[in-house]
A and B are shown apart, each in its own frame.
With several copies, the nearest count.
Chain A
Amino acid sequence: MNIFDNVEALSVRVPDGAFVALPPEYSWVPASLARALIVQGTRDLHVLCVPIGGITVDMLIGAGCIGTLEAAAVSLGEAGLAPRFTEAVQSGSIRMKDSTCPAIHAGLQAAEKGVPFMPLGGLIGSDIEANRDDWRVVPDPMESGNGPIALVSALKPDFAIFHSPKADRHGNVWIGKRRELMVMAHAAKETLVTVEKVVDEDLLADEATAAGTLSNLYVSGIAEAKNGAWPSVLHGVYEADREEIATYAYEAKTVEGFQAFMERALTHTRLAAAE
């Protein structure tokens, strides 16, 4: 575990082609780290949305960073459809692995437990299941009288990446009740985290904070990134920048509009990287 000086020190650890798990916009998305990946020109990522994507994934798609996307949905929420995602899927420019929320959680839990699959209710008869070569519907191997059951494959990302309000100097990261971040980190080989602030208190020392803390055992690298989830929400710290997201939703409908928007959005990231 290392605490790095800047976000770019984390982004350079993610090579082209890496399998990267990303939380949803409402759960501490690493927007700043994603912009650093865009600036460094990362290509062919296999991104797993846990379980849905928003503006951050849409930007990564628009910037050409993503080769394969696995998600239960991608949307800008109240701001409407995710424009670059929509265009990419319609044109077939990315490979889309359509999933459903609980299957993504279960696949990560399988990796967390080191087993090749997880059984899951539902799914049978869905075209999602029918189109997933890595899932199976089998007769219940326990013969519990409940009929066939679906099995979903373990999801083992190379990297889990997310943003958090704080980590301590030992690299223990506050996740609060965002337990999907913990499952992501357990399932992934490495976890990279940006934080608003590195704090002096030991988050594991007190049971009250330990309850919402991911141990540094799972964390490879941390860097401070002020407003690192912006324009998305960081609950308890700042709200979503609805105006920015609405502007994006409108401008990114065309390739040219997207590029103009990103030119502005990335200026700050480029400046920081050049420092």
Chain B
Amino acid sequence: MSCQPEELLICVIADLLESDPTVRHVAVGAASPIPGSAVLLCREETGDRPRASIIHGETNNPFTDGAREIFDCAAQGRIDAFFLGGVQIDGQANINLLGTMGEGGYPAIDRRFPGSFGSAYMYFVVPKVILFRPEHSRRVFVNEVDFISAPGVSARDVHRPGGPKFLVTELCLMSFDAERARFRLESVHPPHTVEEVRDNTGFDFDVADTVLVTPEPEADRLNVLRSRVGVEIGHTYPGFASRVFGIEPAK
């Protein structure tokens, strides 16, 4: 069964969650349909894990203490995994969600994006942050970000129970080692190659002894994704569900 690029990425992320039994609760922020689908897929496949909290959603939303609750909840250690992206991401996992800077740097903005959202906080308090940025190019994966919305690593004396663990792009899956402050290439999505990853990455990274070929999702898995998961994620992201899964919102 042929698989769309979004579907492969959903499965890659779902595998990162399924393989880690400490992930009991995952929160998904605004405008995150692929990570959101991955969490729901994982739950369909494990039967119960993880609890998925989709903020701003009307379903799968346990929060009744207002917009601050997700942040408090994370600081309490009750959220095990979260997703962040970036306009730019550098080799030390610094992320920039703000934009590219003009002459002299911030606040002179060259190209502005929405902003840092809760990244400067969630990156510190959630144990397993998965960086997710489909576009894999030297414009995104730079040697040094123009603006640090949230730093990849912190000085030893800074209280930081959380941080980046993986990076998922349209080309590959990388892991991140906070001690060494470096990414390592773990698997490459077919039909791409290690060289292609290297050519399109502006920072230096390690390469696993055996770089895997990312497995394509099986037909059963795609069926679950296109039916139950698609309908559920469509409640929060109707445009995405329509475009990727062809599921139109219920009237």
Contact = CB atoms under 8 A, between A and B. Distances in A.
In the complex, are there CB atoms of A and B closer than 8 Å?
Answer: yes
Interface of A: 24, 26-27, 50-52, 71-75, 77-78, 81-82, 85-86, 89-90, 92, 96, 98-103, 105-106, 109, 111-115, 120-129, 131, 146-149, 177-183, 186-187, 204, 210-218, 235, 242
B115 interface: yes
B120 A128 contact: yes
Interface string B49-61: 0010100101001
A105 B71 contact: yes
Contacts of B148: 125-127
A183 to B, nearest CB: 7
A83 to B, nearest CB: 11
Of B65, B67, B98, B157, most A-chain CB atoms within 10 Å: B67
Contact of A100 (B58, B116, B237): B116
Contact of A127 (B62, B106, B240): B106
Nearest to B95: A126
Interface stretch (B121-129, B171-179, B186-194, B216-224): B121-129
A24 B68 CA distance: 13
Which of B56, B69, B107, B159 counts the most chain A CB atoms within 10 A?
B159
A175 B171 CA distance: 45
Nearest to B123: A122
A215 B158 contact: no
B131 interface: no
B71 A101 contact: yes
B71 A217 contact: no
A81 B109 CA distance: 15
B148 to A, nearest CB: 4
Closest 8 CB pairs of A and B: A114-B75, A179-B66, A73-B115, A122-B124, A215-B62, A105-B68, A75-B114, A102-B71
A168 B98 CA distance: 42
Contacts of A109: 68
B22 interface: no
A217 B56 CA distance: 17
B228 interface: no
A123 B47 CA distance: 36
B64 A131 contact: no
B123 to A, nearest CB: 7
Given A121-B124, A122-B121, A127-B148, 11 more contacts: A77-B30, A81-B113, A89-B99, A89-B112, A101-B71, A121-B75, A121-B125, A178-B66, A204-B61, A210-B64, A215-B62
Contact of B72 (A82, A92, A113, A124): A113
A211 B64 CA distance: 6
Nearest to B96: A127
Contact of B120 (A52, A100, A112): A100
A217 B99 CA distance: 35
Given A90-B111, A177-B64, A213-B64, A114 B72 contact: yes
B31 A77 contact: yes
Nearest to A96: B107
B110 interface: yes
Interface in B130-160: 147-151, 154-155, 157-159
B58 A235 contact: yes
Contacts of B149: 100, 126-128
B19 interface: no
17 contacts: A52-B30, A52-B115, A73-B97, A75-B115, A90-B109, A92-B108, A100-B117, A100-B118, A102-B71, A111-B76, A122-B150, A124-B154, A125-B151, A177-B66, A180-B67, A212-B64, A217-B51
